[in-house]
Amino acid sequence: MTAIPITIRRARRDDVGAIVEMLADDPLGAARERIEDPLPAAYVRAFDQLDRDPNIQLVVAEEEGVVVGCLQLCVLPGLSSQGASRGLIEDVRVASHRRSRGIGEQLVQWAVCQARGKGCVLVELLTHHTRTDAQRFYQRLGFQRSHVGMTMRF
Amino acid sequence: MTAIPITIRRARRDDVGAIVEMLADDPLGAARERIEDPLPAAYVRAFDQLDRDPNIQLVVAEEEGVVVGCLQLCVLPGLSSQGASRGLIEDVRVASHRRSRGIGEQLVQWAVCQARGKGCVLVELLTHHTRTDAQRFYQRLGFQRSHVGMTMRF
């Protein structure tokens, strides 16, 4: 399959609305997000905070000038594995009408490549146990179901 | 049970050796770490890097002046859940001869409390699927086995 031509670039403040729409367009996300116009200020505050953080890259996939996907990569230093950094992938989304065309794969491959380039020995992520499609997707890209992801929501 | 009196404090450079020993004192960690004297410089470099990071707290538990446990907490901003930060708990260890006395519990409760205080809506962690004791421990503290933790090791 020829890869869909997309551009992966750092998210800007004016992408926040499009990103939040993708986060909300999902059975689990729908209950957690608030799509309003104007967007709740907390989203923009969070964007500014992560945008300043040198360890975090929030990127979007753009297809013909339209934002169609997003991904957040955190590169985290730590002592284990001989002081190697770890890459944490979060908030991977592709707009519902653009799915199954390899966009998510390109985003994740980009993140893996970035993490490797920044000296990580490991990339990790959590997917909800009900997201079996996502788990197959990540396995196809070389991830292993090696861990249990445990959460406490306040 | 009365809680064992421990002090939880920020790790210092001169704790790195004791922390690495705890990371290595474990079937999974033993293969990954290098205990040498002097300690490989990569550990100290990683410590300096994480110590400078305002989002990361590496702490140790001290009992009668001796380091007996450690935990790393990262507080990560993100857009999802209405721009709420998430707490990621990593590298939780208790020295093997001091286990089963509630030290790990105090460390994890400290991290949950910190994360909550910093406005996180969620604390998350990955435990290797073979660490069933750890999973029971976290469940007892209120964590759910909600996610699959997927990793790619380079």
Tell me, what's the pLDDT at A61?
A: 98
Q: How far is A84 from chain B (nearest CA, A)?
A: 7
Tell me, what's the pLDDT at A1?
A: 59
**pLDDT average per 10 residues of sequence, chain B (154 residues):** 86 97 88 89 96 96 96 97 96 92 96 97 97 96 98 96
Give the rounded percent of residues in chain A with a pLDDT score beyond 90: 87
Tell me, what's the pLDDT at B1?
A: 59
Q: Do A151 and B143 touch (CB under 8 A)?
A: yes
CA distance A128 to A131: 5
CA distance A111 to A57: 9
Q: What is the pLDDT of residues A54-102, one digit of tens each?
A: 999 999 999 999 999 999 999 999 999 999 999 999 999 999 998 888 9
CA distance A47 to A12: 9
User: Tokens 């996939």 belong to which residue?
Assistant: A61
Give the chain B residue whose CA is nearest to the CA of A58. B78
Which one, of A57, A104, A129, lies nearest residue B149 by Cα? A129
Q: Do A143 and B152 touch (CB under 8 A)?
A: yes
ipTM of the complex: 0.93
Q: Do B76 and A88 touch (CB under 8 A)?
A: yes
The torsion angles phi and psi of B38, rounded to 5 degrees, stand at -70, 160
Q: How far is A153 from chain B (nearest CA, A)?
A: 4
Give the chain A residue whose CA is nearest to the CA of B35. A82
